[in-house]
Structure formats: C-alpha cells, structure tokens
Amino acid sequence: MEMFWDIVISALLVIGGVFGLVGSFGLVKLPDPMTRLHAPTKAATLGVGSILIASMVWFAVKQGHLTLHELMVTVFIFLTAPITAHFISKANIFRDWPAEKLPKPAGEGDWAVHTADADTSEGELAVERETEAADKAD
Amino acid sequence: MITYALIFAIACYSLALLFNLYRVVKAPGVTDRVLALDTMAVNAIAMIVLFGIWEGTALFFEASILYAMTGFVATVAFAKFILRGDIIE
C-alpha cells in the first residue's frame, strides 16, 4: 500500500512539473499575444493544481493528517485564472486592435473596450434596466 | 522514488520561472509582461508547496494562499490600469 501511494504522489508531481514547464515555455514560444494567453492560463494552472493535490496526498499519507488548505488554494487558482485571462485579453484588445478591425457585436453600440463612456457600474446598469422596462411597457 | 519526482518537479518549475523572467525582461508588449508576472506568481505558489513537501512541514500553506490572493489582485489591477488608466473609478 505504501508503494501505491508513492507511485500516486510521484506521478502527480511529474505531471505537475511537466505541465508547468510546458505552460511557461508556451509563453516564450507562441507567436502573438492572444495565443500566448493560452499557455499559462490553461497548462500552468493545471500543473499547479496537480502539485497542490500531490502535496495534499503526501501530507495525508506520510504525516497522517488530512489538510484541506491545498484544496482551497487549488479552487482559488482555478476560479481566478479565467478572470485574469479575461482582463488581460480585454487590455490586449484595447491596445492592439483598432475598432474598425473588429467585427461589430450584435445589437446597438460597440465593444465595451472601445466606447469611451462604457461603464458597468451600478448606476448605468440601473438606467438601462429602467429604459428596458419602459420599452416593454410601450 | 518521491525524492526523485520532487527533484524533477523542482527542476521543471525552476526552468519555468526562468522562462517567465525572460518574458518579463524581454516582452513585445505590456500585456505580455502582465501575463508573465501572473504566471510567475502561479509558479511561485508551486515552488512554495514543493519546498513545503521537501522540508516536511505544513508551515508554507499560508504563504501560498497569500501569494494566490495578492497575485490575482495585482494582475487585475494592472490590467484595469492598462484598460482604463485608473484602478478604482
């Protein structure tokens, strides 16, 4: 049984190391900024998750006490990685893609990145909701 | 066996951090720098956890949680600053 857990932990560590390395290598290798977003946000996040789960199994088997800290960190990283990727891609559109090169979004208006007054704060959304309600009433 | 796997993983993440450092120093655009810093924070969490296994103490989890949180907030603040020229409007 000892041997089985050794193999599980070693496999998780090796998988995590390889994924982390591939993710960071993709950051250097891939050709343009939008494709470069893929490598760290997917591969590196998976690698770190694997390492954290290996650590959790190691502490449970070798030290005999199960800790859920690593699971917390894993869930936090898996939740925040898409948000950071989304923000960075928005910043990238803002800097490198002029409005006329992008396809128009459905409906009225332009991409939020390119409209100077676009603000998703509560006040403006409330105004939109009111106008929508007024349209429906008509 | 775990020792060899641990050394392999630490070597992989050291190399990964060097790639990130190269991308921070020599980047084609500012968003690439922000992305490289974000990846660096994520890889640093892995390094901290690996060092915790190496030393056999559960002392480093708090450090990794702090790294995860500050890394996320820093990246979002950087991206927001590039996007709007301001962080809290």
Interface test with A, best of B1, B2, B22, B48 (most A CBs within 10 A): B2
**Does A132 have pLDDT greater than 80?**
no
pLDDT at A131: 65
Is B65–A76 a contact, with Cβ atoms under 8 angstroms apart? yes
* ipTM for the predicted complex: 0.88
Total domains in chain B come to 1
Tell me whether residue B89 is in a domain.
no
> Of residues B1 and A13, which shows the higher confidence score?
A13
Is A20–B5 a contact, with Cβ atoms under 8 angstroms apart? no
* CA-wise closest residue to B20 among A47, A34, A39, A24: A24
Q: Is the CB of residue A13 less than 8 Å from the CB of residue B6? A: yes
Considering only the beta carbons, identify the residue of B10, B29, B53 that sits closest to A33. B29
Q: Average pLDDT over chain A, rounded to whole?
A: 83
Cα distances (angstroms) measured from residue A101 to each of A36, A77, A105 = 20, 33, 12
pLDDT tens digits for range A100-124:
777 777 777 777 777 665 555 544 5
**Does A11 have pLDDT greater than 70?**
yes
Within 13 A of B82's CA, how many CA atoms are on the CB side?
22
CB atoms within 10 A of CB A114: 15
Mean pLDDT of the B58-73 span: 90
Tell me whether residue B40 is in a domain.
yes
Please give the residue range of the domain that contains residue B52.
2-84
Is A87–B72 a contact, with Cβ atoms under 8 angstroms apart? no
pLDDT at A136: 72
CB atoms within 10 A of CB B55: 10
Token pair 């922000």 is at which residue? Answer: B34
Tell me whether residue B43 is in a domain.
yes
> Of residues B88 and B51, which shows the higher confidence score?
B51
How far the first Cα of chain B sits from its last, in Å, is 53
